[in-house]
Chains A and B, each alone.
Chain A
Amino acid sequence: AQKITQTQPGMFVQEKEAVTLDCTYDTSDPSYGLFWYKQPSSGEMIFLIYQGSYDQQNATEGRYSLNFQKARKSANLVISASQLGDSAMYFCAMREGLGGSQGNLIFGKGTKLSVKP
C-alpha cells in the first residue's frame, strides 16, 4: 500500500487564485512529519513547509499553508494568490519516527501545477 498518495497528477490554476494540492498519508507511527517540496523545471528540490504530527496548529509559510487533518490523515497544501513562478511539480513527503538514520522521506508521485496568466 502506498504511504503517500497524491491523487492529482496535474492541475491548472488561474494566476492570483488559490489552489489546493491533495495529499493523504498512511502510517501507524504516532510520531511523524509531513513535508511539501517544490521542484521547478530546473530540477532542484525546494522545501516549502513542514507539519509535525504533534503540532496543534496548521503550518503556514508565506503564501503556503498546510491543511492538516490528522484524523483523516490528510495534509493538503494550499497556495494562495498563485503566481506564474509557482508552476512546478509539487511533492508531498512523510518522515516516520523521530529521525536518525531511518528518517527517510517517503514521497508521493507528485502533482504538476500549471499557473495560467
Chain B
Amino acid sequence: DTAVSQTPKYLVTQMGNDKSIKCEQNLGHDTMYWYKQDSKKFLKIMFSYNNKELIINETVPNRFSPKSPDKAHLNLHINSLELGDSAVYFCASSQDKLTGAGGYTFGSGTRLTVV
C-alpha cells in the first residue's frame, strides 16, 4: 500500500533515555515533516525537510534531531527525554508543489510516553 508509515505506534520510556521514531513514505514525495500533537490536541510543526533544506521550528529543543538517510525516510531522534516530551508525534509527507487534494499525507502517529 502507498502510505506514510511510522514506527513504533507506542513508545514508553524513562526520563533521560534516547529514542528514535522511524518514518518512511513510498509516495515519491519531495518533502517530509514531523509534527507534535500535545495533550490538548494542538498540532504544531517541528521540522520540514527535503533533500535540499532542513527547516527547524525555533521552539523545538535541540534534543530533537531529524535524520534522513534518503528521500523516503525521515527519522526523529530524541536525546535525554523529558516528561514534557510525552505527546503524539506525526510524520507527514507532501509533494513539493501545492497540488491539492491528497498531496499532504500523515502517518498514523507515535504515542510517546515518558515516565
Binding site for B on A (CB under 8 A): 31, 33, 35, 37, 39, 43-45, 47, 49-50, 52, 59, 61, 89, 91, 93, 95, 97-107, 109-110
Contact = CB atoms under 8 A, between A and B. Distances in A.
Interface in B35-63: 35, 40-45, 48-50, 52-55
Contacts of B44: 107
Given A98-B97, A103-B48, 4 more contacts: A45-B92, A45-B106, A61-B101, A89-B41
B96 A99 contact: yes
Interface of B: 31, 33, 35, 40-45, 48-50, 52-55, 88, 90, 92, 94-106, 108-109, 111
A44 B48 contact: no
Contacts of B40: 109
Contacts of A89: 41
Contacts of B109: 43-45
